Chain A
Amino acid sequence: MPRTGSAPSRRMPLARWAPVLALLLAGGAAAEEGIPSLTGQPGDAARGRAIVATRQRGLCLLCHAGPFPEERFQGDLAPSLAGVGTRLTEGQLRLRLVDGRRLNPETIMPSYYRTEGLVRVGPAWQGRTILSAGEIEDVVAFLLTLRD
C-alpha cells in the first residue's frame, strides 16, 4: 500500500503505474538500497581503473578477476568484475565497497570505508580507511563502466 496518495483505481493512467512496474520488473536486487555518494562529486573512472588494477592499492585482483588483460594471476575468491556495471546500481556498488558486511556478515570482502569494530589493526593503518572517499567514488565510477 502506498504511504501517500489515494489507492490506485482502474481508471488511473499507465504512467502512474510505470515506476512501480519498473521496480517489480527489475527483480530482487532493486529491492536492496544502495548508499549515496560519499563526496557529492562524480568519480573519475580512469583513476578508478588504476586503483582496481594496482593490487597493492585496491587489493581487488587478489580476489576478483576482471577485464584487465595486462594483469596476470587474478584471484578466484570472488565473482568476476566483468559486467558488474550492468548487475548492480551505483548505490549498490558503493555499499559493497564501503561495508559489504552490512549485506553479508561472513563476507571476505574487506570494508573499504569503515574503521569501527576492527581488531588489532597495524599501527600504519590505524584510524585510516583502506580507500579514501574520493578513491571509492573513482572505483564506483569505473565499475559502472564494466558493462560486458
Chain B
Amino acid sequence: MRRLLLALLLAGVVAEARESGFVLMSPETQAMQRDDTANPGMLWVEEGRALWDSAGCAGCHGDVAGMRGVAARYPAFDAASGGPIDLAGRIAQCQEARQGRTPFPRESEEALALSALVGLQSRGMPVAPPEDPRLAPALARGDALYRQRRGQLDLSCAQCHDANAGRHLGSSPIPEAHPTGYPLYRLEWQGMGSLQRRLRNCMAGVRSEPYAYGAAEYIEIELFLMRRAAGMPLETPAVRP
C-alpha cells in the first residue's frame, strides 16, 4: 500500500511542471552558469581532468568522455553494500576496492573535482536514477526523511520545498529543491560543494543536528530527490547564489 502511495506521489510530482532553481536566479548568475569560461565550477572540472590521469582513473576507464550518462543514473544500487550509493561514494569505492588506495575524503577538493568532471559528461541529459526495486526501501526512507520535521524550528524539507516553493524566506526565493546541478559552485560558499553540504546547511538552518558526511540518510534523501527530479536536465557544474 505504501509503495502504491509512493508511486502515486512521485507520479503526481512528475505530472506537474517542475522548475530548477536556475530559473530563480538573477540573469547575471544564470549567465555565469551558462558560460564555461566564467563558471567557477569549471576550475574544479579542470582539476578533475588532471586527477583523471594522475589518480589513475584513465587506466581503467580510458577517456572521461566514456562517462557520458553515468552521473544521470545515480544514486544507484550497490551490490556490495546492499543499498543505495551516490556518485561520490562510487568514486571512493572504486579508489578503495579496485585501486587499493585511500579514497579522497568526502567533500575534499579532489573528490569534488572528480564528481564535477564526471557530472559534466552528463550535462543536459535527463536525470534518471535507476528504478531498481531493490532501492525501494531506501527510497521510502528518503521520502520519510524529506517529510520529517526536525530541529528546534521543527520544520521538514517538504514544508518549504513542496508547500512553499516560489515564495520567499526573507529575501531568498524557495526553490523546489531538485538537485540537478551538483556538485555546484555556490556564491555564498565562494567554493564548490556537494548536495550533502547543502543539506547540512538546511538542517543547520532549522537548528537541527546534521548527519555526518557520507551518512546513509543523505544518500536516501538524494535518491528520493533525484527520483522526484527524474527527467529534468542535469546541470553539473551549476552555479547558485
Judge: A and B partners, yes or no: yes
Q: Which residues of A contact B (CB under 8 A)?
A: 55, 59, 61-63, 72-77, 101, 106, 108, 110-111, 117-125, 128, 130
B212 to chain A, nearest CB (A): 13
The reply to whether B207 and A74 contact each other, CB–CB distance below 8 Å, is no
- How far, in angstroms, from A121 to B149 measured CA to CA in the complex? 10
Query: Among the listed B155, B167, B171, B207, which residue makes an inter-chain contact with A73, where contact means beta carbons less than 8 Å apart?
Result: B171
Q: When the two chains form their complex, are residues A122 and B209 in contact, meaning their CB atoms are under 8 A apart?
A: yes
Whether a CB of chain A sits under 8 angstroms from the CB of B148 is yes
Q: Residues of B at under 8 Å CB distance from A?
A: 148-155, 159-160, 163-164, 167-171, 203-204, 207-209
What separation, in Å, do the CA atoms of A55 and B151 have in the docked complex? 18
In the complex, the answer to whether A130 meets B208 with C-beta atoms within 8 Å is: no
Interface contact A61-B160, CB-CB below 8 Å: no
Contact indicator B170/A73 (Cβ below 8 Å): yes
Given contacts A75-B168, A76-B167, A108-B159, is CB(A119)–CB(B153) below 8 Å?
A: no
- For residue B207, which residues in chain A have a CB less than 8 angstroms away from its CB? 121-122, 124-125
Among A62, A110, A123, which residue has its beta carbon within 8 angstroms of that of B209?
A: A123
Interface residue from A72, A75, A110, A130 paired with B155 (Cβ < 8 Å): A110
A-B residue pairs in contact (CB < 8 Å), sample of 8: A74-B170, A75-B168, A106-B159, A110-B153, A111-B154, A121-B151, A124-B207, A125-B207
What's the dominant secondary structure at chain B's contact region? loop
- The one of B149, B152, B160, B163 that contacts A125, using a Cβ cutoff of 8 Å: B152
User: Closest Cβ of chain A: how far from B236's Cβ, in Å?
Assistant: 29
Q: Which residues of A contact B159 (CB under 8 A)?
A: 106, 108
Report the nearest B residue to A123, measured CB to CB: B209
A63-B204 in contact given A110-B153, A110-B155, A122-B209 (Cβ < 8 Å):
no
Contact yes or no, B171 A119, CB < 8 A: no
The complex places the Cα of A26 from the Cα of B154 at a distance, in Å, of 33
Q: Are B208 and A120 in contact, with the CB atoms below 8 A?
A: yes
Find chain B residues with CB under 8 A from A108 CB.
155, 159-160, 163-164
Expressed in whole angstroms, the Cα–Cα distance for A120 and B164 within the complex equals 23
Q: Judge whether B150 and A120 touch: CB under 8 Å.
A: yes
A122's partner among B169, B170, B204 (CB-CB below 8 A) is B204
**A120 vs B149: C-alpha distance when bound (angstroms):** 9
Q: What separation, in Å, do the CA atoms of A111 and B149 have in the docked complex?
A: 12
Check if A76 sits within 8 Å of B168, measured CB to CB.
yes
How many Å from the CB of B4 to the closest CB on chain A?
23
Chain B residue with the shortest CB-CB distance to A74: B170
Check A122–B167 contact: CB distance below 8 A.
no
Complex Cα–Cα for A122 and B206 (A): 9
Cβ–Cβ < 8 Å partners of B153 in chain A? 59, 110, 130
Nearest 6 interchain pairs by C-beta: A73-B171, A125-B152, A110-B153, A119-B150, A62-B170, A120-B209
Contacts of B148 in A (CB 8 A): 119
Question: Do B164 and A119 touch across chains, with their CB atoms under 8 A apart?
Answer: no
Inter-subunit contact B170/A75 (CB<8 Å) = yes
| Chain B residues within 8 Å of A128, by CB | 152
Complex Cα spacing A43 to B160, Å = 32
CA A86 – CA B203 in complex, angstroms?
36
Complex Cα distance, B163 from A61, in Å, reads 19
Nearest B residue (CB) for A101: B154
Say whether A55 contacts B170, CB under 8 Å: yes
- Point out the residues of chain B lying under 8 angstroms from A123, CB to CB: 209
Tell me the nearest residue of chain A to B166, going by C-beta.
A76
